Amino acid sequence: MPTRGNVEVARGEEKCADTPAIVIKASERSAVNKQPKFDDVPGTYVFTKEYARKGYHLNMFCMSFNVEANRDEFRSDEAAYLRKYPMTDEQRQAVLDRNWLEMLRLGGNIYYTFKIVMHDRRSMQYVGAAMSGVTEDAFKQIMLTGGKDQEGNPRRGPNVLGSRDD
Amino acid sequence: MIEIVGGVATSHVPSIGAAIDHGKTGEAYWEPLFRGYERARQWMAEAKPDVVLIVYNDHACAFSIDLVPTFLLGVADQFQPADEGYGARQVPVVPGHPELAWHLYESLVLDEFDMTLCHSMTVDHGLTVPLSIMCGEPDAWPCKVIPLCVNVIQYPPPTGLRCYELGKAIRRALESYDSNLRVAIFGTGGMSHQLQGERAGLINKEFDKAFLDKMSADPQSLTAISHHDYILQAGSEGIELVMWLIMRGALDAEVKEIYRHYHVPASNTAAGLIILEND
């Protein structure tokens, strides 16, 4: 088996040693300079260079919310404040519409756009529900029963918790 | 010589901080999570580290997309809690340890880890929530803190293997520092969670349980998990788990597991905590 450093590199798909719960696929390292592909990850916007470049001004607009005076200015006239940033009209409209998925598609990153969520006095669960297309109560219930699986479908398990003192 | 009193890995969910700040830890939703933190706080009070190196990520507060350091050390005398877009957390100012931080910077760069150096920075929930989890609500934090900030937002974050190797270099740097300081290392973030997209709300308790087991018994195997594997199985923000491997690399290959705690959900996140000590 080939190695990188002193770590064995799995070829194809293998289980993580004796732990079937973590599946290790072929090393990304061998794919340096290749376009990362996340096509098999549903409902996910990995913040690659394409999104970072497209979303720069949108994200910097969100970043400005770290200053209270800017939040106040946005609150008093959202459209006027948005015009101060050289964003696309589409990006401005997505903010005005609070279209959270559209903001991601247009290059927004969740840690940045979350500042708008908090400005609106909403929560991560609120925006998680909005992006999932369910009510906030339904989303909270999904989280209480173990969240969503890899395909994005709600699990229907019991709440999971536990502590262990060895 | 410095004594490494232990390593702690813990999630740093902002709503855990908010639950503490707004007196909600006794509510039915939060009580099981915080009950599990009691043992961790007891460990912290007994271990009494003089300095804690906290590995965390900034969330568009001290740094933006304008400047994305992969690994950064804070060498300031103190660090103010950041206004993250909704006012700063009302927690004590975080005292730094510039002398040890500078030593780490010099040692790590000469050991081939090209750290970014920062004299002036705020710290957000990624750093202050773990302090709150481990120390409660003191008037002043009981230890000095060295922030080690890692990029996990802009793809690609450092690999798990690189993080693990950085941990080993941190260990070498600490051991070359002439002092009797007691030092703990926190790796923060994770566990499985996804905050964004239609798949927001992903949790993978089987992955998390296996990860906790391997953190304790076989950390080297975790270094083979690729970014793609993390994102697919542990969620787009679950990739923060690479930061746990920095802490783990700084400990012995074989460690004693002191305590673990795992709870779902804390907002949209699987909250995990593990405490390890060198044997």
**CB atoms A104 and B227 under 8 Å:** no
Q: Which residues of A touch B213 (CB under 8 A)?
A: 19
ipTM of the complex: 0.96
Query: Which pLDDT score, from 0 to 100, does residue A15 have?
Result: 53
Concatenated DSSP letters for A123-154? -HHHHHHHHHTS-HHHHHHHHHTT-B-TTSPB
DSSP state of B184: E
In a domain, B207, yes or no: no
Q: Looking at residues B249-253, what average pLDDT do you find?
A: 98
Supply the range of the domain harboring residue B104. Answer: 3-202+215-274
Q: Looking at residues B141-152, what average pLDDT do you find?
A: 98
Q: Looking at residues B176-202, what average pLDDT do you find?
A: 98
- A99, with CB counted inside 10 A (0-12, 13-18, 19+), is middle
- Residue that has been written with the tokens 């598609």 in this structure: A105
Residues B167 and B248: beta-carbon distance below 8 Å: yes
Give B222's contacts (C-beta < 8 A, 6+ positions apart). Answer: A16, A22, B160, B164, B211, B214, B215, B245, B248
In a domain, B163, yes or no: yes
Query: Which pLDDT score, from 0 to 100, does residue A4 have?
Result: 43
Q: How confident is the model at residue A37 (pLDDT cuts 50, 70, 90)?
A: confident
- Residue that has been written with the tokens 């890692």 in this structure: B150
User: Quick check: B223 pLDDT over 50?
Assistant: yes
Name the minimum distance, in Å, from the CA of B279 to any CA of chain A: 13
Q: How confident is the model at residue A18 (pLDDT cuts 50, 70, 90)?
A: low
Q: How confident is the model at residue A8 (pLDDT cuts 50, 70, 90)?
A: very low
Q: How confident is the model at residue A160 (pLDDT cuts 50, 70, 90)?
A: low
Name the minimum distance, in Å, from the CA of A118 to any CA of chain B: 6
**CB atoms B156 and A36 under 8 Å:** yes
What digits encode the pLDDT tens for the residues B14-26?
A: 999 999 999 999 9
pLDDT top residue among A29 and B57: B57
Query: Which pLDDT score, from 0 to 100, does residue A2 have?
Result: 42
The domain segmentation of chain A, as residue ranges, is 1-34, 49-144
**CB atoms A150 and B15 under 8 Å:** no
Measured CA to CA, the distance from residue A133 to residue A139 in angstroms comes to 9
Query: Which pLDDT score, from 0 to 100, does residue A27 have?
Result: 59
- Residue-wise over A127-164: b if at least 16 C-beta within 10 A, else e? bbbbbbebebeebbebbebbbbbbebebbeeeebbebe
CATH fold label, A49-144: Protocatechuate 4,5-dioxygenase; Chain A (1.10.700)
The region of weakest confidence among A32-41, A106-115, B129-138, B170-179 is A32-41
In a domain, B209, yes or no: no
Q: Which of B193, B227, B228, B263 is catalytic?
A: B193
Give the CATH number, domain containing residue B124: 3.40.830.10
Number of domain units in chain B? 1
Q: Which of B125, B228, B261, B263 is catalytic?
A: B125
> Could you tell me how many CB contacts below 8 A there are between chain A and chain B?
235
Residue in chain A nearest B267 by alpha carbon: A125
The residues pairing with B273 across neighbouring beta strands, listed in sequence order, are B10, B261
**Strand, coil or helix: what is B263?**
strand
